[in-house]
Chain A
């Protein structure tokens, strides 16, 4: 069966609501409209306005009320309409969502999922193409997940909803229409485990979310140059599965991290540092980064010059091989 990531996410929500009556889905326009990206399409029709409902436009209120709901024993799954409009809720996320279990000495976990469509590449106007992953990944207590394929989108969202801790679930919006031949349901993937999507020996490409497809495309093209690139899909940004990364780089000796977000203090910096600490002796070249630039995201007209491409990745591989 061919499914898009959007359909896989929708099915995951539907199945989770069916299997667990404490799961409630809410946010801006998620009810009647089915979400601006239609990820919650049909949920209100199927489960009623008590299980899937629209809220006032109030991101802090949405996340804040989800905390109260989780405190009461529900499993809220809330949607932030866009990456750039999740910022009003950052205070709730950082001050409470991330800290509640710790503050209560382990007695109150908050099983909740905050879904955020993120990243660029859809021709949107400003504030609709942000890559905020490091804000979340930097915050202790948060689990940050981003799927790169439809199958993973289903499996990881199911796992996130069943997870005992809050999960920030970053959906690569430019891949909502990415297709994969996969039978749903697929088993829940464990949170906290990276995946080797393609094996190779020349170098390791490390990507997540929207850049998984780009990295796979680069690896396909690279065979023309006789390069066998290994591609790792990080999947869970926090906590990071550094074992899978270290094992791969021990074998290949070269690593290139790819992400859309800006380079400075970006997620790639953490991976580079972690690999340097763990497998320095196996590195034949410095860990390189192919990332967005250190500029505010440039919207539609010039975004193609900002977004990492397979070509840029291959240039980085060539550079790594020069050492």
Chain B
């Protein structure tokens, strides 16, 4: 199986596409497909659950499964992932419990999972602010001489933020083992990519930082995997950071609360549906006889099981004890917080009594 991408030349131009042979056995390829398919099922279920009120809002990964799964699967167990609100499917593919991931969209006051155990930072909503965290973690790993790599997802909009620049420049200066994966899905809410930048590609910026840049078809999971894997291997070997731009498309509105008919056409969306990353990969696997109907049925069944678990866990999930909002502001509760907690407790006890 081959991966294809274009490297940014040191002069800041794009090189001709190159193809690389991937060393993935059939079982690994099937698993890539499985994670993408489960991710899509989970994504659809999250949208449904939002419509039914079990989630407050949801930012869909539909159409971006190849970019997210291809990138995160390239990480090793001890590596770190720094995702955004867009990357539910990528975090899911990393093995974090889907119900825990969705805490953000439930409106929970905490991120739902244990970042230290999962080696995944909380899904971050202030755009690009998590990018310097990835750089810093990678700098720390390098200082400690640990073979750890950090990978951070960014959107095309986030790439315009100053923190993207500071994170990439510092990563290059310190040769930090970090990989920046920009999913260029063509929109930042309603603002199209040509209002986000005047250049032809985000990847070209890599030349300006003195790091390798890669432009890859974000709807081709093998290419995303290959490009990310190569960047991760280079980072781990001491070769410093890489900027990867995965060109893809957001099929769903920005979030469940968005009305995308105000800024794009159904024709445009349909054109991208025709390049669906899941269908495309499945066609390839079928062509090479790597999957059969029985396998696909197992994946479907697994997806249904997870979807049912999401429904069970998220419907009627308790709000949580509001008294806990005071518990983790500091390692040790201050007297002020203690007093406020006591006041809320009194208020709650009074309501409980009258009920």
B132 touches A68 (CB 8 A): yes
Q: Which of A72, A96, A141, A239 counts the most chain B CB atoms within 10 A?
A: A72
B132: chain A residues within 8 A (beta carbon): 60-61, 63-65, 67-68, 92
B129: chain A residues within 8 A (beta carbon): 64, 91-92, 95-96
In the complex, besides A60-B132, A71-B136, A102-B110, 15 extra interface pairs with C-beta distance below 8 angstroms are A58-B169, A64-B129, A68-B132, A72-B144, A74-B140, A74-B143, A95-B126, A105-B328, A107-B114, A107-B116, A108-B116, A109-B331, A141-B329, A239-B334, A240-B336
B166 touches A58 (CB 8 A): yes
Q: Which B residues from 100 to 149 make CB contacts under 8 A with A?
A: 109-111, 114-116, 121-122, 126, 129-141, 143-144, 148
Q: Mark A99-122, 1 if CB is under 8 A from B, else 0.
A: 001111111110000000000000
Please name the residue on chain B nearest to A50 by beta carbon: B143
B143 touches A140 (CB 8 A): no
Q: Does A192 contact B (CB under 8 A)?
A: yes
Q: Does A185 contact B (CB under 8 A)?
A: no
Main secondary structure on B side of the interface with A: helix
**Given A95-B126, A103-B122: A239 in contact with B335 (beta carbons within 8 A):** yes
**Given A103-B110, A192-B334: A68 in contact with B170 (beta carbons within 8 A):** no
A73 CA / B140 CA spacing, docked (Å) = 8
A67 CA / B335 CA spacing, docked (Å) = 27
**Given A68-B138, A91-B126: A101 in contact with B169 (beta carbons within 8 A):** no
Q: Does A69 contact B (CB under 8 A)?
A: yes
**Given A61-B169, A92-B129, A103-B111: A69 in contact with B335 (beta carbons within 8 A):** no
**Given A61-B163, A74-B143: A68 in contact with B150 (beta carbons within 8 A):** yes
| Of B110, B163, B167, the contact of A105 (CB 8 Å cutoff) | B110
A88 CA / B327 CA spacing, docked (Å) = 30
Contact residues on B (Cβ < 8 Å of other chain), bracket:
35 or more
A306 CA / B162 CA spacing, docked (Å) = 35
Q: Which of B126, B139, B141, B336 counts the most chain A CB atoms within 10 A?
A: B139
Please name the residue on chain A nearest to B133 by beta carbon: A68
Q: Does B173 contact A (CB under 8 A)?
A: yes
Q: Does A281 contact B (CB under 8 A)?
A: no
A65 touches B133 (CB 8 A): yes
Binding site for A on B (CB under 8 A): 109-111, 114-116, 121-122, 126, 129-141, 143-144, 148, 150, 162-163, 166-167, 169-170, 173, 327-332, 334-336
Q: Which A residues from 150 to 199 make CB contacts under 8 A with B?
A: 164-165, 192
A52 CA / B121 CA spacing, docked (Å) = 26
16 A-B contact pairs sorted by A residue (CB < 8 Å): A50-B143, A56-B170, A60-B162, A61-B132, A61-B163, A61-B167, A61-B169, A64-B167, A68-B133, A91-B126, A95-B126, A96-B129, A101-B331, A102-B329, A140-B329, A239-B330
A115 CA / B330 CA spacing, docked (Å) = 19
A91 CA / B170 CA spacing, docked (Å) = 18
A107 CA / B122 CA spacing, docked (Å) = 12
Q: Does A44 contact B (CB under 8 A)?
A: no
How distant is A293 from chain B, measured CB to nearest CB, in Å? 29
Count of A interface residues, CB-CB < 8 Å:
43
Q: Which A residues from 194 to 221 make CB contacts under 8 A with B?
A: none
B133: chain A residues within 8 A (beta carbon): 64-65, 67-68, 71, 96
Q: Does A45 contact B (CB under 8 A)?
A: no
| Of B131, B150, B331, the contact of A64 (CB 8 Å cutoff) | B131
B328 touches A61 (CB 8 A): no
Q: Which 9 A-B pairs have the closest CB atoms?
A: A68-B136, A64-B132, A65-B136, A61-B166, A68-B137, A72-B140, A106-B328, A239-B334, A164-B331
Please name the residue on chain A nearest to B135 by beta carbon: A65
B135 touches A68 (CB 8 A): yes
Please name the residue on chain B nearest to A164 by beta carbon: B331
Q: Does A80 contact B (CB under 8 A)?
A: no
| Of A61, A92, A165, A239, the contact of B135 (CB 8 Å cutoff) | A61
A106 CA / B167 CA spacing, docked (Å) = 26
How distant is A186 from chain B, measured CB to nearest CB, in Å? 23
Q: Does A66 contact B (CB under 8 A)?
A: yes
A56 touches B126 (CB 8 A): no
B110: chain A residues within 8 A (beta carbon): 102-105
How distant is B188 from chain A, measured CB to nearest CB, in Å? 18
Q: Does A145 contact B (CB under 8 A)?
A: no
How distant is B330 from chain A, measured CB to nearest CB, in Å? 5
A161 CA / B132 CA spacing, docked (Å) = 21
B109 touches A102 (CB 8 A): yes
A303 CA / B140 CA spacing, docked (Å) = 42
